[in-house]
Amino acid sequence: MHEFRFDPVRLPASAQALRGEVRAFIAEQLAQGRFDPRVNSWGSRDPAFSKACGERGYIGMCWPKEYGGHERSALERYVVVEEMLALGAPVGAHWVADRQSGNQILKHGSERARRQILPQICAGECFFSIGMSEPDSGSDLAAVRTKAVKVEGGWKISGSKVWTSGAHEAHYLIALVRTAPLEDDRHAGMTQFIIDTAKPGFSTRPIYNLYGGHDFNECIFDDYFVEDDMVLGGVGSGWRMVTGELAFERSGPDRFMSTFQLLLESMRQIGTQPNEQEAAELGRLIAHLATLRRMSTSIAGQLELGANPAIEAALVKDIGTTFEREVPEVFRKLLGVEPSLGHSADYAENLGLTTLRAPSYTLRGGTREILRGMIARGLGLR
């Protein structure tokens, strides 16, 4: 049975010092009118803001200097990410590259991929998206049908991906592709490739979400040629790559802070004299948030030590996304505000948008049922 570990972590002084710097940077950006604090800020893309983050050294913070990184600790990075989300900064453009794709390239990419791509990510000028899901392959990723055929010097890819967040504005995506026929071992025969979205044979079509926004896409590969040195981690290692990547994807504060701005705004609406019910609900939500934060920093501490806390990360994502999904519902009932859409930037509007976004929080990055299956396996229950 897996032994769950959530050892307490004390943030080092360097990380605390960085918190003040990030707050000052964001205050400066706000004073210049560069952005409005947003709910789901890691879903809000603003390339100019990403570039400013790159100039400040806030992207690729833990990567080696020779690839444009800053050799800071995972806990220092944690503080930067947390402050960005707490202040509603539009970090979405560089989010995936910084959180997971760049790490994969650093660990498993060719030297050419590292030298060509990582410095651009660190500069806040190169954005990534994730090409895992397909029309008949979401939770069951081993069912991917997009396939690559070996040709001289590389591979030719044909097929399509869906729900690819931000692919229409990304420079690259990392795609999970079948490179050998499906056999008894369903997890064999898959490979991840780095896809340059500007090259011929790749195109995107928008898929509009519940509130009418264009975040995700269908991506189409039509005999797309990819060079051998844009394979990640070796041919056939796709499943291992994907599962390793998901540990980075699942444990961060982005998995419980998507609705943090709404929580803050709701507290402002309630004011300094909450009634008994408001005080009880606020107290409950804040206690949950504080606990989630401790669990998530503990995982950052383990990642820093080179561990792979995948089961712990699944637990944080499950509890965290349930929490962020609950926030709009609690305040809608508590404050008696009718959510609205398309009228103004007021509280009702924010509540309306968040209510429509909330169902996606427990789907993206792996559904609740899938995470609970992993946790149950970790507990030895299945």
Ligand X SMILES: Cc1cc2nc3c(=O)[nH]c(=O)nc-3n(C[C@H](O)[C@H](O)[C@H](O)COP(=O)(O)OP(=O)(O)OC[C@H]3O[C@@H](n4cnc5c(N)ncnc54)[C@H](O)[C@@H]3O)c2cc1C
Cβ atoms of 7 and 298 closer than 8 Å? yes
Least spacing, CB of residue 382 vs ligand X, in Å? 10
Sign of the CA dihedral 100, 106, 112, 117?
positive
The residue from 322, 356, 373, 377 that contacts ligand X (CB under 6 A) is 373
Q: Give the residue with the Cβ less far from ligand X, 104 or 133.
A: 133
Residue nearest to ligand X (CB): 138
Q: How many CA atoms lie within 13 A of 199 on its CB side?
A: 14
Number of residues that bind ligand X (CB under 6 A): 19
Residue 207 in the binding site for ligand X (CB under 6 A): no
Binding window for ligand X (CB under 6 A); candidates: 30-38, 113-121, 132-140, 177-185: 132-140
Least spacing, CB of residue 49 vs ligand X, in Å? 20
Find the binding residues for ligand X in span 71-110 (CB under 6 A): none
Least spacing, CB of residue 174 vs ligand X, in Å? 10
Find the binding residues for ligand X in span 134-153 (CB under 6 A): 138-139
Cβ atoms of 321 and 368 closer than 8 Å? yes
Least spacing, CB of residue 218 vs ligand X, in Å? 11
Binding window for ligand X (CB under 6 A); candidates: 148-156, 309-317, 346-354, 356-364: 356-364
Binding window for ligand X (CB under 6 A); candidates: 16-24, 116-124, 272-280, 361-369: 361-369
Quickly tell me which residue has 């729900």 as its tokens. 163
Q: How far is Cα 279 from Cα 103, in angstroms, rounded to an integer?
A: 42
The residue from 73, 165, 192, 350 that contacts ligand X (CB under 6 A) is 165
Residue whose C-alpha is closest to residue 246's, from 188, 313, 197: 313
Residue 216 in the binding site for ligand X (CB under 6 A): yes
Q: How far is Cα 165 from Cα 191, in angstroms, rounded to an integer?
A: 20
Residue 35 in the binding site for ligand X (CB under 6 A): no
Residue 164 in the binding site for ligand X (CB under 6 A): yes
Q: How far is Cα 83 from Cα 89, in angstroms, rounded to an integer?
A: 9
Here the tokens at position 301 are: 């501490």
Residue 363 in the binding site for ligand X (CB under 6 A): yes
Cβ atoms of 83 and 26 closer than 8 Å? yes
Can you say how many angstroms the Cα of residue 330 is from the centroid of all Cα atoms in its chain?
A: 25
Binding window for ligand X (CB under 6 A); candidates: 108-116, 126-134, 236-244, 317-325: 126-134
Residue 178 in the binding site for ligand X (CB under 6 A): no
Least spacing, CB of residue 252 vs ligand X, in Å? 15
The H or E element spanning position 378 is: helix 368-378
Least spacing, CB of residue 303 vs ligand X, in Å? 21
Residue 233 in the binding site for ligand X (CB under 6 A): no
Torsion of CA 275, 280, 282, 283, to 10 degrees: 130
Compute the residue count for the chain.
382
Residue whose C-alpha is closest to residue 127's, from 36, 73, 197, 189: 197
Three-class SS state of 87: coil
Least spacing, CB of residue 376 vs ligand X, in Å? 10
Cβ atoms of 195 and 232 closer than 8 Å? no
Residue whose C-alpha is closest to residue 357's, from 43, 35, 36: 43
Least spacing, CB of residue 103 vs ligand X, in Å? 16
Residue whose C-alpha is closest to residue 303's, from 119, 107, 111, 122: 107
Quickly tell me which residue has 């709009």 as its tokens. 328
Residue 132 in the binding site for ligand X (CB under 6 A): yes
Site string for ligand X, 237-276 (x = CB under 6 A): ----------------------------------------
Q: Give the residue with the Cβ less far from ligand X, 130 or 303.
A: 130
Least spacing, CB of residue 147 vs ligand X, in Å? 16
Residue ranges in contact with ligand X by CB under 6 A: 129-133, 138-139, 163-165, 216, 360, 363-364, 366-367, 369-370, 373
